[in-house]
Amino acid sequence: MLNYKNEYERWLNSEFVDEETKKELIAIKDDENEIRERFYCDLEFGTAGLRGIIAAGTNRMNVYTVRRATQGLALYIKNSGQEAMDKGVAIAYDSRLYSDKFAFEAASVLAANGIKAYVFDELRPTPELSFAVRHLGCFAGIIITASHNPAIYNGYKVYGEDGAQMAPVDADKVLSFINQTDVLGGAKTVKESDLITVIGEEVDKEYLKNVAAQAISVDAVKEAADSFNVIYTPLHGAGNKLVRRVLDMMGFKNVHVVKEQELPDPEFSTVKSPNPENPEVFVYAEKLAREKGANLIIGTDPDSDRVGIMVLNKEGVFVPFTGNQVGALLVEYILSRRSEINTLPKDPVVIKTIVTTNLAADICKSYGFEIRNVLTGFKFIGEIIKNLESKGEESRYVLGFEESYGYLAGTYARDKDAVVATMLIAEMAAYYKTKGLTLFDCMENIYKKYGYYKENQKSITLEGISGVEKIKEICSYLRENPLKEICGQQVVEICDYQTSKSVDVKNGVESEIDLPKSNVLSYITADGTKVIVRPSGTEPKIKFYFFVKGNDEKNANEKLCAVNNEILDKINKLL
């Protein structure tokens, strides 16, 4: 922990800090709590990089913390040799405040260290950055984004040579170099350099070609195109141009964009938070859908790696589908259609995270195909793809997804991709339209066929120093006082991913969990109800995931509500 008062004074008096930043710091001189929050520690560099509130301070996102992180990355690359330096780093950014500035600051630091940098000419989706790393043969990648967080946040994510978020072992090496770098003046910078190359349209074309190659039912799109209306909102983010281009390439004729949310806006002025998981972001889209007679609404988040949808139900009401529901729809659609037209690879593999619905597992089982579970975070899905690739089995990969609205078909990128997901969701809806079905109908059919699986996720936000400690306390308490029953059902299995141990409660037999260690706890009851607890890796939150299976939809919803209430009541008593 830093001496926050000394660090605050050091910034105020440093020759490396610009006058605007000093004015900002002077404005908080009488607010000790604010000074402490900004300077008590360095902004944490986790496996996903940095994410924080935009402001001056060591625990905030600003040009100084961006430069420091990039200097650490540069030292890591230099330590990897000249070939790594020559391969360079691809850099992209979204529509958030200072995203473009942070991107070019990062390029400046890399170039000053003799490392080639490729920077996109304007905002681009995160998955295109993943693609660009692979396409350009870069050693690493950087995306400036805070994904779906509120407007006060920005972030900095680092990607490895394979196009996936940097692996923990490599991120730790970068962190060791960051720790050697003084946040004020420790980073090299340069104003201009031949090592900085601006990229754009040529990469877009190759990326879109790879996205479009994942299409399955192009003929169905053409058949439905004249009467099929889809509403799309980019939520002021990076998806706008490329999503519309790929839908046009597919043959969609009636894609209606929500004008109020079409253009980049770092304030995200039409929403509280630009998160397509929240139905309230679709208010403008619903209005447009009514005007155009559409029954499908699609929205992508600011960096266009997540996608959310709303579907018209039988009562004429637009209802949101969860990430689990969309994932189940895509698994069923892709496996059934590709089986039908004989384009599935031998021994296909679907990958999901441990906090994602088991409905997907039942669907895969019904087709006789493999599903694999990984820890939360798309980088772990990327690792499975990489392992398949190393064995010459990359083509086995069919789909990867997580409950938090992230999906990837194809291996051209190694992160979730809302561009390809939007294309496939729209295609899927058009295909089922030719069969006289809506996506709502299809979801009902899936429940009838496989069972009424219902899931929910609740987050408790605990900000600041006290919040970090409280999250640790809750996790420690649950380890020392494990749940014995949930809603009257005995807990029969407890999994602690931090110790890599799964315990059969009845006989006390332990088994090894073959996944990397992670601060995650899982409880499974005799009737299959599951509760998972984990701290967020990117936000000041502790997350709770609830999974039930009911006899019918009403029973499943009642069980889910009861589990949700019981667990949160227990946790609230600890706060």
The whole-model pTM stands at: 0.95
* Predicted confidence (pLDDT) per residue in 261-297, tens digit: 999 999 999 999 999 999 999 999 999 999 999 999 9
Q: What's the rounded mean pLDDT across residues 425-452? A: 97
47 pLDDT above the threshold of 80: no
Structural domains of the chain sorted by starting position, each given as residue range(s) with its CATH number in brackets: 4-199 (3.40.120.10), 213-450 (3.40.120.10), 452-572 (3.30.310.50)
Dihedral sign for Cα 125, 127, 130, 131, please: negative
557 pLDDT above the threshold of 90: yes
Of the residues 130, 147, 217, 304, only one is catalytic, namely: 147
Query: Tokens 């400046």, residue?
Result: 108
Radius of gyration of the chain (CA): 24
* Predicted confidence (pLDDT) per residue in 214-249, tens digit: 999 999 999 999 999 999 999 999 999 999 999 999
Q: What's the rounded mean pLDDT across residues 125-135? A: 98
Q: What's the rounded mean pLDDT across residues 423-435? A: 98
Strands 530-535 and 541-550: antiparallel
168 pLDDT above the threshold of 90: no
567 pLDDT above the threshold of 80: yes
Structure tokens at 114: 């003799």
* Predicted confidence (pLDDT) per residue in 440-481, tens digit: 999 999 999 999 999 999 999 998 888 989 999 999 999 999
Q: What's the rounded mean pLDDT across residues 372-397? A: 95
Kindly state the DSSP code that residue 138 receives in the 8-state scheme: -
Residue 68 has a pLDDT of: 98
Share of the chain above pLDDT 90, in %: 95
172 pLDDT above the threshold of 80: yes
SS3 372: strand
pLDDT bucket at 556, cuts 50 / 70 / 90 = very high
Residue 540 has a pLDDT of: 84
Residue 41 has a pLDDT of: 93
Residue 325 has a pLDDT of: 98
Residue 376 has a pLDDT of: 92
48 pLDDT above the threshold of 90: no
1 pLDDT above the threshold of 80: no
46 pLDDT above the threshold of 80: no
Q: What's the rounded mean pLDDT across residues 125-154? A: 97
* Predicted confidence (pLDDT) per residue in 322-334, tens digit: 999 999 999 999 9
Q: Give Cβ neighbours of residue 79 (< 8 Å, ≥ 6 apart).
A: 173, 177
Q: How far apart are CA 9 and CA 360, in angstroms?
A: 54
Q: How far apart are CA 200 and CA 120, in angstroms?
A: 6
Q: What's the rounded mean pLDDT across residues 64-82? A: 98
537 pLDDT above the threshold of 80: no
CB 521 within 8 A of CB 475: yes
Q: Can you give the length of the chain in residues?
A: 575
Residue 242 has a pLDDT of: 98
How many CA atoms, within 13 angstroms, populate the side-chain half-sphere of residue 564?
Answer: 16
Mean pLDDT estimate for the chain = 96
199 pLDDT above the threshold of 80: yes
259 pLDDT above the threshold of 90: yes
Structure tokens at 359: 């409905």
Q: How far apart are CA 50 and CA 30, in angstroms?
A: 28
Specify whether 404 is catalytic: no
Phi, psi at 424, each rounded to 5°: -70, -35
Q: Where are the alpha helices (DSSP H) in 341-408?
A: 359-367, 378-390
Instruction: Give the neighbor-by-neighbor strand order of the sheet with 296-300.
Output: 255-257, 230-233, 296-300, 307-312, 318-321
